[in-house]
């Protein structure tokens, strides 16, 4: 796309294609890295010379603008990237030629408003129009005739500026225009277009723009930036670019407002290289970008999770002596979060405070989210204390983000305090996500009683239950063996419109695996059947001893393929647990094998020369036991064949701090004990170690040659 744009620039201002030189930007590490993987698309010399404006007069043609531009964009502008890349980048190495501007360093001038003595009457009239409800356009039009003063230029402009809904602004504009009292100037279009933009009426905006062209009304930078940002908000990026190109072709230079608007368009299209190319060209011709432009760049790098890019933005601002404002800091903080740099986010936040800026709701939301995801409980709590002490602004989103942070870190009391604050507030009443966060906290903390109470409260308050809240409750009630409550919650949730997803099914499946009585298991099974009939059929199939392995394999493939990727391993884990619960150990081994075969357990086995290890951190209790047994069988065979073994063997369960792996280390230790396997707890939590010597002698006793040779 930048090729398109670069071309548009060149067509009008740079016919010789000789303006640019290699800029320091392309020597920056992050970009060099980028250019290694994908050549920068910055060359423009290979494009054919487009038709000149004389050949394609765009102001007088009758068909639509896009039709007019079509031949140009289809034939000349949309070259294959490979063609461009195949050309040497010679255009960039030409320091002697002067650089051509790609943007005007002066902003669009605005006309001054003069005092209107009728302001009071006209404001009142506009308010009346604003508060009127009408179903027919004619009703509104008849109201317009009550205008207290004649709709001359200044009066009309004042009213136009005071109207809110786009329908009213648009109708008023056309009404004034039809009176023919004065020629409609650019500002009338601009004001109306802005209102239309709030209503995301791109089509109407484009119609107005074409009307301007037809009537010979000048389109200025304000017009173009409004059109472009409206197209952007409507996700019509092609349109945004089309109008930007058109602007150049009519001989109008964008100023920095229009230019940063288009930078944002390319950024939203994730055209990082193009954005940088445009940025560089503008800077090379004397532009000093402002905070908004840097915010655009920062957001772009944030979305790419590109830490080097974020650093580059900070460096550029420093070298150009542009002080970041709160919005820039917010953007960069968010970006640091996405780039997985909580520590740097914290430093940046401190820098912001030292610069004397006050964080707003968005700043705090970004930071709380980062600390929560990083499980930095200390920093999160400290920030929270600071927020309260300094009375920094809070809003609804920040409250919910704080609640989610509490869920991430497991802060029950703090969450309860927050939740109560929300209930007592006027502005920030808890919504279904606030409730879900609380259910998550109670659920992962095993507080079944509190969770149930909250669920009832939610129902009474008429708060919509969502699938995540339902899942949290089901998990919690399942662990607490409150199966009747579980069924009640599930039924009600379905009644209230919850659509079960694979996570919820996985959760039901895991509860089924935990059920001690078949009566309970059947109740859970009945729930699961309503959510995922095929899964239940598969469960019945695998617990049936008579089912052949090949059948299991085929059905497994079908079930797993139909499951969302993130739920596949949990499914397989639960299925293994169910089989072990029903003493179908061999079936459990088959399922583990199938899971491995279909890539659900990458990195389960790890080998170095010195040690072999088994990483069961993402496995359920039953799956981990099965994996251990399988490993021992394999090792026994290796011993029998007298092949080489390393000195050390290691099994890794993780520390169990994560709520889903809680108890794995303990149950694994117990299983080792039952097998009297020679693994010992290491100094590091969640790691079990055995020496080659101990393990071999144990394997020889456990799997005597005679028995296995029979098998």
Partner DNA sequence: CTAGGGTTAG
Contact positions vs DNA (CB under 7 A) = 107-111, 113, 161-162, 164-165, 186-187, 190-191, 194-195, 198, 220-222, 224-226, 229, 232, 254-261, 264, 289-293, 295-296, 299, 325-328, 330-331, 334, 360-363, 365-366, 369, 395-398, 400-401, 404, 431-434, 468
Closest distance between DNA and the C-beta of residue 109, in Å? 7
Contacts of 360 (CB under 8 A, 6+ apart): 326, 330, 392, 393
Query: For residue 288, how far is the Cα from the chain centroid?
Result: 31
Closest distance between DNA and the C-beta of residue 38, in Å? 25
CB 618 within 8 A of CB 581: no
689 strand-pairing partners: 650, 680
Cβ proximity to DNA: between 118 and 325 the closer is 325
CB 527 within 8 A of CB 487: yes
Closest distance between DNA and the C-beta of residue 433, in Å? 2
Cβ proximity to DNA: between 305 and 581 the closer is 305
Q: What are phi and psi of 470, to 5 degrees?
A: -60, -45
Closest distance between DNA and the C-beta of residue 298, in Å? 8
Q: How far apart, in Å, are the Cα atoms of 334 and each of 81, 262, 299, 300, 406?
A: 32, 22, 8, 11, 19
For residue 284, is it left (φ>0), alpha (ψ between -120 and 50) or beta? alpha
Closest distance between DNA and the C-beta of residue 274, in Å? 17
**What ranges in 425-517 are assigned the alpha helix state H?**
432-444, 448-461, 467-479, 483-495, 502-514
Cβ proximity to DNA: between 328 and 476 the closer is 328
Q: What are phi and psi of 691, to 5 degrees?
A: -85, 160
Closest distance between DNA and the C-beta of residue 111, in Å? 4
Contacts of 172 (CB under 8 A, 6+ apart): 129, 144, 156, 159, 160, 163
**What ranges in 113-185 are assigned the alpha helix state H?**
119-131, 137-144, 153-162, 166-179
Smallest CA-to-CA distance from 539 within 570, 501, 513 is with: 513
The conformation of residue 37, written as its DSSP 8-state character, comes to H
Cβ proximity to DNA: between 221 and 493 the closer is 221
Rounded to whole angstroms, how far apart are CA atoms 663 and 665? 6
CB 312 within 8 A of CB 344: no
Cβ proximity to DNA: between 5 and 187 the closer is 187
Closest distance between DNA and the C-beta of residue 255, in Å? 4
Closest distance between DNA and the C-beta of residue 711, in Å? 49
Cβ proximity to DNA: between 10 and 264 the closer is 264
Cβ proximity to DNA: between 73 and 436 the closer is 436
The sign of the CA dihedral 311, 313, 314, 319 is positive
For 337, other C-beta atoms within 10 Å of its C-beta total 21
Closest distance between DNA and the C-beta of residue 112, in Å? 8
Give the SS3 label for residue 291: helix
Closest distance between DNA and the C-beta of residue 396, in Å? 6
**What ranges in 38-165 are assigned the alpha helix state H?**
65-71, 81-86, 119-131, 137-144, 153-162
Cβ proximity to DNA: between 56 and 421 the closer is 421
Closest distance between DNA and the C-beta of residue 158, in Å? 7
Smallest CA-to-CA distance from 89 within 44, 127, 130, 138 is with: 44
Cβ proximity to DNA: between 7 and 162 the closer is 162
CB 165 within 8 A of CB 132: no
CB 679 within 8 A of CB 690: yes
Closest distance between DNA and the C-beta of residue 186, in Å? 5
CB 432 within 8 A of CB 463: yes
What are the tokens at 100?
């051509």
Q: What are phi and psi of 350, to 5 degrees?
A: -65, -40
What are the tokens at 118?
């009728």
Closest distance between DNA and the C-beta of residue 706, in Å? 57
Residue with tokens 């430093």: 347
Closest distance between DNA and the C-beta of residue 110, in Å? 3
Closest distance between DNA and the C-beta of residue 432, in Å? 6
Q: Half-sphere exposure of residue 545, counting CA atoms within 13 Å on the CB side? A: 4
Cβ proximity to DNA: between 205 and 528 the closer is 205
On the 0-12 / 13-18 / 19+ scale of CB atoms within 10 A, 36 is exposed
Give the SS3 label for residue 375: coil
Cβ proximity to DNA: between 224 and 679 the closer is 224
Rounded to whole angstroms, how far apart are CA atoms 544 and 554? 15
Cβ proximity to DNA: between 434 and 653 the closer is 434
Q: What are phi and psi of 607, to 5 degrees?
A: -130, 130
Cβ proximity to DNA: between 221 and 475 the closer is 221
Cβ proximity to DNA: between 328 and 651 the closer is 328
Cβ proximity to DNA: between 430 and 622 the closer is 430
């Amino acid at each position: 796309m930048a090729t398109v744009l670069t071309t548009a620039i060149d067509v009008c201002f740079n016919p010789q294609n000789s303006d640019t030189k290699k800029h320091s930007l392309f020597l920056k590490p992050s970009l060099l890295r980028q250019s290694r993987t994908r050549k920068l698309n910055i060359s423009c010399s290979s494009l054919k010379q487009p038709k000149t404006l004389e050949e394609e007069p765009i102001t007088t043609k009758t068909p639509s603008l896009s039709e007019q531009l079509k031949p140009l964009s289809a034939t000349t502008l949309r070259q294959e990237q490979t063609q461009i890349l195949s050309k040497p980048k010679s255009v960039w190495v030409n320091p002697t030629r002067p650089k051509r501007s790609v943007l005007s360093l002066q902003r669009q001038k605005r006309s001054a408003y003069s005092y209107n003595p009728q302001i009071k009457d006209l404001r009142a009239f506009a308010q009346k129009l604003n508060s009127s409800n009408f179903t027919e356009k004619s009703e509104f039009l008849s109201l317009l005739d009550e205008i207290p003063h004649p709709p001359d230029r200044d009066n009309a402009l004042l009213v136009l500026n005071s109207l809110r809904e786009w329908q009213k602004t648009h109708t008023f504009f056309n009404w004034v225009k039809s009176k023919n009292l004065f020629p409609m100037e650019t500002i009338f279009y601009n004001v109306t277009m802005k209102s239309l933009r709030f209503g995301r009426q791109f089509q109407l905006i484009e119609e107005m723009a074409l009307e301007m062209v037809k009537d010979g009304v000048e389109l200025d930078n304000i017009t173009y930036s409004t059109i472009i940002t409206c197209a952007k908000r409507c996700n019509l990026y092609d349109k945004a670019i089309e109008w930007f190109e058109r602007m150049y072709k009519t001989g109008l230079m964008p100023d920095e407002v229009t230019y940063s608007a288009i930078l944002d368009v390319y950024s939203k299209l994730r055209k990082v290289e193009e954005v940088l190319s445009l940025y560089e060209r503008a800077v090379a011709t004397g532009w000093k970008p402002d905070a908004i432009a840097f915010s655009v760049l920062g957001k772009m790098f944030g979305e790419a999770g590109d830490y080097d890019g974020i650093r580059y933005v900070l460096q550029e601002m420093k070298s150009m002596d542009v002080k970041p404002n709160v919005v820039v800091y917010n953007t960069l903080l968010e970006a640091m979060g996405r780039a997985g740099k909580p520590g740097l986010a914290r430093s940046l936040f401190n820098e912001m405070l030292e610069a004397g800026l006050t964080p707003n709701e968005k700043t705090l939301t970004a930071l709380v989210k980062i600390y929560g995801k990083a499980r930095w409980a200390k920093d999160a709590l400290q920030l929270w204390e600071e927020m309260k002490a300094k009375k920094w602004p809070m809003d609804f989103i920040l409250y919910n983000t704080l609640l989610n942070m509490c869920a991430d870190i497991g802060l029950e009391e703090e969450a309860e305090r927050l939740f109560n604050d929300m209930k007592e507030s006027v502005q920030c009443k808890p919504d279904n996500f606030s409730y879900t966060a609380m259910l998550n906290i109670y659920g992962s903390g095993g507080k079944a009683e509190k969770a149930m109470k909250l669920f009832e409260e939610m129902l009474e308050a008429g708060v919509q239950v969502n699938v995540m809240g339902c899942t949290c409750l089901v998990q919690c009630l399942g662990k607490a063996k409150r199966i009747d409550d579980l069924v009640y919650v599930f039924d009600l949730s379905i009644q209230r419109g919850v659509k079960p997803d694979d996570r919820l099914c996985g959760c039901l499946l895991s509860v089924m695996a935990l059920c001690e009585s078949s009566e309970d298991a059947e109740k859970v099974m009945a729930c699961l059947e309503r959510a995922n009939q095929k899964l239940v059929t598969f469960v019945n199939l695998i617990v049936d001893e008579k089912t052949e392995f090949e059948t299991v394999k085929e059905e497994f493939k079908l079930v797993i393929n139909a499951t969302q990727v993130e739920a596949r391993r949990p499914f397989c884990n639960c299925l293994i647990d169910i089989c072990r619960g029903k003493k179908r150990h061999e079936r459990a081994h088959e399922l583990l094998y199938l899971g491995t075969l279909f890539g659900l357990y990458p990195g389960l086995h790890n080998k170095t020369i010195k040690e072999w290890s088994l990483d069961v951190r993402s496995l359920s209790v039953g799956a981990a036991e099965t994996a251990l047994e399988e490993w021992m069988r394999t090792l026994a065979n290796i011993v029998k064949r007298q092949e080489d073994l390393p000195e050390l063997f290691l099994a890794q369960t993780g520390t169990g701090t994560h709520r889903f792996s809680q108890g794995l280390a303990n149950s694994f230790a117990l299983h080792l004990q039952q097998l009297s396997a020679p693994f010992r707890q290491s100094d590091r939590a969640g790691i079990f170690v055995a020496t080659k010597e101990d393990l071999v002698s144990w394997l020889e006793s456990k799997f005597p040659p005679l028995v296995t040779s029979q098998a």
